[in-house]
Every structure is written in C-alpha cells, then in structure tokens.
Structure 1
C-alpha cells in the first residue's frame, strides 16, 4: 500500500513541477484559505490539514487553514468574512449550515473571489452561492445508503449519536439513515455533545432505557471512540450492530475486532487536496473540471481494511 501511495504522490509531484515551472507570470504567488466548521477538538480534520499541506507544496501555493475554535457557526461566518477581506486568490469552505453561511460566501463571490465548497453542503447549494464546484460527500445521500445497507442486514431501530447537532449536515446523516431503514427518526437521535465522558454516559443511558435498540450510528471519531468505550462497559461490544461515519485509529481497531461493521469513508484528504489543485490550475491556465466531485460514500469493512488501515487518520 505504501509503495502505491508513494508512486501516486511522486507522479503528482512530477506533474506539478513542470506546471509550476511554466507558470511564470501566471499566478506565481497564489494564496488560498480553507475555512472549516470544525472545533479545535475534532482530530478528524488533521487529514484535511494534511491534504492542503501536500497540495500546497506540490502546486507551489500558500494555503491557510482557519476554523472556529468551538465549532460555532456564527464565528465561522465571521471567519469567512475576514478571509474575504484579505482578498485571497480563492476560498475553500464547508457549507455545514446553508442559512448561516450563504451570506458571507456569496459576498466573497461577489467580491470576485473564487470559491469551492468542500465536505458539507450539496452540489445544488454550491451552485446557489456561486461557487466554482463542490467536492465532498452529500450527507443525506450517505446516510441513506448506510440505512439501506443496515436494513439489508436486518436492522430496524437505532441510536444516532450526534456530536455536532448544531450543524444541519450532521442531522442529515441521521435522517438519511432513518429513511434508509424506512423508520421515523423521532427520538433515535441524541445530542451527545463533544466531551468524551458525556458522550459515553449518554450512550449508556440511552441503551439502558432502550434495550431493544438494534444498531448504533456515530458520525465520526468524536462520537465513535467514546461509544466504543460505552459498549465495552455494558458488554454489548460485538453484539449490537455498529456503523460509523469516517475513519480513525480507534474506528479501525473496532472494525478489525468486529465491534464496528463498517466505516463510511468520505476521503477528507481528497476533499482538501483536490480543491487546491483545481484552484491553482484554474488561476494559472483557466481550466476547470466540468463536474462536481463526489468523494464518498465508500464503505470500509474488515475485508477491505488492509488497503486503508496504514493511512487512517492521516490520509484516509
């Protein structure tokens, strides 16, 4: 796996080198800003940071990462406004709450800044705000696919552990899962918060009050890791159907151990890496892909784990 990855990176670097050499006078000093909705505590976004760092090096551009420290979306909107005020060559941003973020994004576009929507939001919303394109995983569609898969596996009821309930895109994952099962979401989604101890305790409390629950869905390592601890504590690890969004070190261990059925890989590395490459080529040569890029969903199971295990939490 490592040799294949290194060959891919070497190929990208070889391609990038002549491009930069030929780009003299066509955007030598390009600066892009990636704005995410993630709080500082969410380690999943380290993969995104790795993506923009590598793309920046290969393309010969500067890429800055900014985020609201607590995940507050109003704060994120202000960060987008501040980024636009600095007049970068492009902004790459999540669209986790369309109503809150569309204003500053559209203002940046009106200012003449190229914008790419990544990670959250939808291709349709990217068009509405005037972005060049969308690179990511439509959240509702991913949840729906997960629910349909779980239904085929015999699941009828579930608990969705939502650690970022203020973000509509997180709720879309839970709603999609419920629709895939063909059941009402109702009270099957809990506001878990982001403190690991609180998440574990709230999962334990829900399962104690609802012992008939067939399955658990978590929305990333922030909620998956404490949920694993909860299941080890109440003895349900390996006995209750458990699926999660995203990958991470503990999630990979859970898949290997048979505690987690699958992880939905939306490939955050590509969500960050590709927009930088696209913007650099667009600024230098005026070329732009004709379609949006769906980076997921892809289901990682124990059978295919060897292909992604080494780079989970780093590039996957």
Structure 2
C-alpha cells in the first residue's frame, strides 16, 4: 500500500509546475525526500519511516530518484517539486548541498518546517532546519582509521562511491586523519555515482587500484555494496586474507562476511533510527512544538566479530532493521 502511495507521489511530482512556496498548510502532506531504494542501505531508512508512521499514526510520502545516474541535478528538482506542494513538513536527506541547500532555505523562510536526516549535519542550523538526525561522518571514518591502525595496516585505501556528497566525503576525511596520526599512508579514490550500485564496476575499479598500489593492505569502503566488491577484488588479485577490509553501513552479506572473518568490521550509522526518529520528531513538533535540540547522533556503532551474531539474529527476526537484505 505504501509502495503504491510512493509511486503515485512520484508520478504527481513529475507533472507539478515549480511554484514559489507559501506557508505550510495544516492539512498538507508530510513529504520525505530520501535516498534511492535501489541502494540496499535506504531500505533500512525507509523501514524506520514506515514503522514510525504506523507507531505514531502519521501519513507520509517517501520520494526518491529511481535512476542514480544524475542525482546531483535530480534531487534538487524533486525537492523543489515537493516544496511547491506546500507540505505540512519536509524531512530531507541533504545529499547534494549545492543544489538542495538554497531550496531548503527557501522552504524554511516561507514557514515550511524542515528536519534533516542522514546527510547535511553541518548545514541544518544555517538553513533554518529544526535539527539533524544521523551519523557523525568524520567520527565514522576516524574510528575506522583507528581500527585499521590497531590491526597493523600499513597503507590504506578509502573508496568513495558518491563523490559530491559531503557526508560521505567526511568519512574519508576522518579515515585519512586517523591514519595520518598513526603515521600510515592512505590512497583516496572515487567512482561515478552512476556506478554506485554496480558491483562489477566497483570490483574492477578497486581491482585496478590494488594493481597500481600493490602495497595497500587495508580498504575502507563507504557502503555495504562496495565492501563486497572490495572483497571480490582482493580475491581476484590473489590477496585474500592479506587485506583488511572495513566498511561503513551494513547488509546481510557484509554481516555474514564479518562472521566468516572475511571483513573486519562495519561502522553502523543505524539508518533505521534515522527514519523512525525523524517521524517521531515530526509528529511531536507538529502536534506540540517539541523537538530535540541539535544533532541527534545515530552513529558510529562498530559491528565486528564480538557482536555480529546478535546483529544477524535481530535481522533474521526483524528483516532489514539492522541492514538490508
């Protein structure tokens, strides 16, 4: 039923003319602009939104791109179309600030309340949003760098599949900073966002990097999909067991690889909480004018051999809550 609502919402957005927003309507919709559901990570975010909506009796619409090839231009377009509907409230993942931040400022200036989730942790105060719910990306990367240093990595690779997203880039910044403090060299490489869900393209890209930098013995990826690509790349260059792989974000594949000892750790930003808590805050803000003050941090939480069994158990009982299938 909710999927059908989402499809109808996307169809409606495609034909709405851009308009100058007015003050939010009391009976307007709560609109969520969030990540593409073709990315397994955002299935957990949406599960949180869905469960929060059911728990608190909130009707909302989830809006996202279906084609990831042109996200830097498509997300501002979706946001502008959503604003033109005069929503009661906007819950926004600010993935590409160059195009999205001016629109958020436009919305908040017109009286539409905005709550940022997942991406945009450094911008929410200046654009008028009531708060931010999500990870501390620098600390996500920093802790990953510390873990690699502790495990004896002598040269690390940070592989970014979403260049242009400041949140994702901050993970690499944190990773590089921690490694530098430990006196360890790093390599930073990216791939186009159009290949961000193409495991084979990422495997080939990481394989090429390993063939150029033969001394890399640690890889930190910024999502679960490239983590599995990194694992395959390491195997294909004949270095299985020699390269410590860590990642941000979870999937069942990654969790099983941690259990098997093939991946060392995953930094969990608890995406389910980002969706669930966003709905909760929206409900309480709209009803009572209440909201948390500042950044509500949902990560980093380290998943490794010490707690992976429990995480897998939760995911088998509550599918997708701790990471996508």
Using the size of structure 1 for normalisation, the TM-score is 0.84
User: Contact 1:34/1:92 (CA < 8 Å) preserved in 2?
Assistant: yes
Secondary structure of 1:49 counterpart: helix
1:149 matches 2:152: no
Other-structure match for 1:67: 64
Select the residue among 275, 290, 293 that pairs with 1:290.
293
Unaligned regions of 5+ residues in structure 2, if any? 1-24
Select the residue among 272, 276, 281 that pairs with 1:273.
276
Secondary structure of 1:308 counterpart: helix
Select the residue among 49, 52, 64 that pairs with 1:52.
49
Cα offset for 1:305? 1.2
Cα offset for 1:40? 4.5
Aligned ranges 1:8-23 → 2 under 5 Å: none
Greater displacement, 76-85 / 281-290: 281-290
The separation in 1 between residues aligned to 2:235 and 2:270, in whole angstroms, is: 28
The separation in 2 between residues aligned to 1:221 and 1:306, in whole angstroms, is: 17
CA-to-partner distance for each residue in 1:215-265, whole Å, 9 max, x for gaps? 001111221122222223333333211100000011011101111111000
Greater displacement, 210-219 / 165-174: 165-174
The separation in 2 between residues aligned to 1:121 and 1:28, in whole angstroms, is: 26
1:175 matches 2:178: no
Unaligned regions of 5+ residues in structure 1, if any? 1-26
Secondary structure of 1:65 counterpart: strand
Cα offset for 1:28? 9.6
Other-structure match for 2:16: none
Greater displacement, 92-101 / 196-205: 92-101
User: Contact 2:156/2:186 (CA < 8 Å) preserved in 1?
Assistant: no
User: Contact 1:50/1:315 (CA < 8 Å) preserved in 2?
Assistant: yes
Aligned ranges 1:184-203 → 2 under 5 Å: 187-191=187-191, 193-194=195-196, 195-203=198-206
The separation in 2 between residues aligned to 1:308 and 1:83, in whole angstroms, is: 36
Cα offset for 1:135? 0.4
Other-structure match for 1:112: 111
Using the size of structure 2 for normalisation, the TM-score is 0.82
1:230 matches 2:233: yes
Cα offset for 1:113? 1.2
Cα offset for 1:140? 1.9
Greater displacement, 52-61 / 65-74: 65-74
